[in-house]
Structure 1
């Protein structure tokens, strides 16, 4: 299939709004509502916001603009776009590394959706099971914020809003730990499969498949709802949270930084990890979405606007969480730092308790967890699109007409691999993957990406490409950011996180040595395609080693801008190519 015919078959967004809401759906996900609050809580609230915003400005903004630009210019996703580079033996594996990283994330990301579906189903109960301590799984140490207990002789007394035992857990915490997870003692005791969660995981993957069954023709329409509904429910929860006693203290803890914490490198390191996780840079997802854009779409505007949406959403989700944490701390008579343990289950212990305080809590709980599912679903759709688009771009003749089968295969394989995370020890497995996968590897991939594009392909050439697409040249400051500031900041954060990274733990439980080794293997597996790409590229050339290297520094003849010309006839769409940019290497 020729490049022009393939570009046409690949498709474009029906409108800019479909693209916009798909990007928002990709950015505004569980990273904002699930992960950001507990990372912020772990790092002292307000002290975390400053490095997070700074890093979003100096890293996420330039990287987002860069990824959107080169993908839109070529109509190619991360698996194929690296033909742009004259030193092809260097970046050949970067795109595939991004795809492997995205694949790993998508496996455990859907497990969180399975948790959400479980809470959604349980929300139809006549009495919310996390709102009281009279369930079969509750212990004598269970309590609620309003002084209810389970009636046992050994109950924890709630007197003057002070809880008399540090080992007590709220009803929402016990529901999470003892009912949803039925958690085992450690990762070495994997336990039985939680079939309720397994069914939820299967349902989540089925929904992803149905939304992607016709590619962007269906996914773009789904995003209109999936990307907007979450904001409504976050606003409702925020308004309700502000009516609760103690909410003001919670917001002050969140918004007012403790300046001494800014000197902690760990706070900056965690801010960098969250920035990469939330903004989706280095994953290939945003590049995949941009590759379906029309050639003259204003990628400059999109690159400035989308990171801002991401930051504001994370910030507002934090407002909702910390207003509720202030209430929880006040009723428990403890400091906000002591009210609940941080971790992947953080949101599943705080949000349910907030919902139980609303009038008609079942109604709001159903809507909220439906919202949480949709906000995760749209991000998961982009992750799977990244995988399938990369494979289709690499093997168009084989896979272009088999997109439905390919999507089904990816979903089924990921479901089977995710089953380990829905066992009694599944939370330990998920924490292990998230701990190592979300830090070192994505930073290294992003560092290689920006170095290759800015220094080898050329920042000036990329500026020319943007000018060709949108009709004006970007401010020269972006050239400085791409070449010097952004790669320097990413490199420093990569070195810090790689050298100072603590061994993984969950609920203050240390992991065995073998699991830590496995975690590091997960961290580096997405980097393996880079040396393999070098070896493959050199093997394809002829002659001695120096002749092979010289043959690999010639840019691919297939690298050229794809542009859609509509010739008056609505159905007469023909892809052509603009003249290639002058080659100056």
Structure 2
């Protein structure tokens, strides 16, 4: 990349913009609605031991490697593979995966916006059974006659008793019915998509509009937005944490105890270590290209080693803190309802759009806390979605700089509009089945395999010695030789084992009790392998365009694993001096 192209592409104004952008990328919805449940299910505080181990074995080495290559070249995942052209399909596969995720991720933000709007009602609509969408199965949680709502609980119980025939499995809380019958207006399956939910359509458009406004000038705007977007969620979480502690201290302490007190015997379970490995892998954002894209805008001399050590720790600490906030809330909620915590804990959208709305409704000034929670949920997701779109735009700009750089704003707008159109099927009455299908399969097979191929090819084909020379040019010293061992042996082996175990433990997609038809499962597997096709396409196209027809295949292979002339430091004269630069090129 020429100096002129580097200037066009841009760099972060300062290190803080990169840090906050990276934190926003790593800290997503999974920190709030997946980690707390996984930790609770797998030994509480004891789960943190395997979690930290896999952070060191996988997250830190991979983040260090991805950031090093992108910062050195000022190129994102779609172009950085000029260092090893034969496997350029790995980068394209990451971009394809990110594109798949970005199409449905904003649908989740649309749900959050819908709840945010409904939080301004005089009475939160998910707190009673007297709405048009409620059924005869609706009943408020708990039957504590000392509760201020006891008369309403008894009234609902008597009204519903004859209809549900004493079958408690049929009972639904108002929050569950609001989610299924109002927000989603859920159909009976993926075969019946029904009509578009126009309220969600407006929310989806608003979500994409916000993303565009945050990115329309590239990192010049996103770098400013992240100061707010990356810090506000922590303020909201702290506020919710303090309020939860002060509202019902006994229940809150019980909730924290259930979450944090170690169950050491669970460390002997193989499933706990598997869940820790998978959770760390996805939480650290490995294999998606997001962190690599952000690092490609770094100044050449940025201390990439420091950043690779800091960011995984920030992600883990945030996950633990978010878990504390969630279980403080679940603790007082269970105490109020007179049930055990395992009766109210949930994972995924259930905790964000069913359990937590029900919990905040029990607080004084429930509308205020509902607004804070859903605003926080939207901002947390917005950070990650911004990086998704930046990865896509960065890949296109890197590959077609002369054509697209002058149209950067238009390109961002077109991608956002396409994302809006592709997300519309997910906001139909059967849209949640489509969203679940894409989410289930988009990362099930491909992302771990892509990451394994990434670390193995860079460490063995490009070479760890070259990597260390690149690092010395950028940061002025060579890190410990430990990282060579990690990149060559430990990290690829760990990722390969995690991938194999994940496949062995793999289960067919479901949504609650709903089982998908065979053809939908087949579509899911096509989604799963779609990003892997680019690897084979990249290998074939590279070999066909290397040498001529008389060039032996072995010779073509040898040439195609060597860096091209486009692979060079992103500065005219690196800090290590001209002689060192010559030795690298």
**TM-score, with normalisation over the residues of structure 1?**
0.91
1:29 aligns with 28
Q: Residue 39 of structure 1: CA displacement?
A: 4.1
The 5 A counterparts of 1:100-249 are: 100-140=96-136, 141-145=138-142, 146=147, 147=150, 148-149=152-153, 151-152=155-156, 154-155=158-159, 165-243=168-246, 244=248, 245-249=250-254
- For the residue of structure 1 that corresponds to 2:126, the secondary structure is coil
1:432 aligns with 437
Whole-Å separation in 2 of the counterparts to 1:456 and 1:42? 41
1:582 aligns with 583
Whole-Å separation in 1 of the counterparts to 2:371 and 2:348? 24
Q: Does 1:280 align with 2:285?
A: yes
Q: Residue 51 of structure 1: CA displacement?
A: 3.1
Deviations 1:51-73 (A, max 9, x none): 33322221111111111111111
1:551 aligns with 559
Q: 1:164 to 1:564 in 2, by over 3 A?
A: farther
User: Could you tell me which of 477, 480, 493 is aligned with 2:498?
Assistant: 493
Deviations 1:272-314 (A, max 9, x none): 3332322111110100010001010111111111111111111
The 5 A counterparts of 1:461-480 are: 461-480=466-485
Unaligned regions of 5+ residues in structure 2, if any?
none
Whole-Å separation in 2 of the counterparts to 1:577 and 1:80? 25
- How many aligned residue pairs are there? 566
- For the residue of structure 1 that corresponds to 2:170, the secondary structure is coil
2:333 aligns with 328
Q: 1:229 to 1:564 in 2, by over 3 A?
A: farther
Whole-Å separation in 1 of the counterparts to 2:334 and 2:544? 63
Q: Residue 260 of structure 1: CA displacement?
A: 4.7
Deviations 1:88-108 (A, max 9, x none): 31x210110000011111111
Structure having the larger proportion of residues in helix:
2
Deviations 1:416-470 (A, max 9, x none): 1111211112222212222222332111111111111111111222122112211
Q: Residue 47 of structure 1: CA displacement?
A: 5.7
- For the residue of structure 2 that corresponds to 1:496, the secondary structure is helix
Quote the RMSD (CA, aligned, Å).
Answer: 2.4
Q: 1:581 to 1:333 in 2, by over 3 A?
A: farther
Whole-Å separation in 1 of the counterparts to 2:25 and 2:430? 29
Q: Does 1:51 align with 2:50?
A: yes
Is the 1:294–1:563 contact (alpha carbons within 8 Å) kept by the matching residues of 2?
no
Whole-Å separation in 1 of the counterparts to 2:299 and 2:189? 50
Deviations 1:200-242 (A, max 9, x none): 1111111111111100000000000000000111111112222
Whole-Å separation in 1 of the counterparts to 2:387 and 2:569? 24
Q: Does 1:365 align with 2:370?
A: yes
Q: 1:440 to 1:481 in 2, by over 3 A?
A: same
Whole-Å separation in 1 of the counterparts to 2:40 and 2:184? 22
Most deviating of 163-172 and 393-402: 163-172
Q: Residue 361 of structure 1: CA displacement?
A: 1.9
Whole-Å separation in 1 of the counterparts to 2:444 and 2:52? 18
2:414 aligns with 409
Deviations 1:324-349 (A, max 9, x none): 22233334443322335544332212
Is the 2:469–2:584 contact (alpha carbons within 8 Å) kept by the matching residues of 1?
no
Q: Residue 381 of structure 1: CA displacement?
A: 0.7
- For the residue of structure 2 that corresponds to 1:346, the secondary structure is helix
- For the residue of structure 2 that corresponds to 1:143, the secondary structure is coil
- For the residue of structure 2 that corresponds to 1:560, the secondary structure is coil
Q: Residue 17 of structure 1: CA displacement?
A: 1.0
Most deviating of 230-239 and 256-265: 256-265
Most deviating of 350-359 and 141-150: 141-150
- For the residue of structure 2 that corresponds to 1:459, the secondary structure is helix
Unaligned regions of 5+ residues in structure 1, if any?
158-162, 567-575
Q: 1:272 to 1:155 in 2, by over 3 A?
A: farther
1:73 aligns with 72
1:418 aligns with 423
Whole-Å separation in 2 of the counterparts to 1:363 and 1:329? 21
1:316 aligns with 321
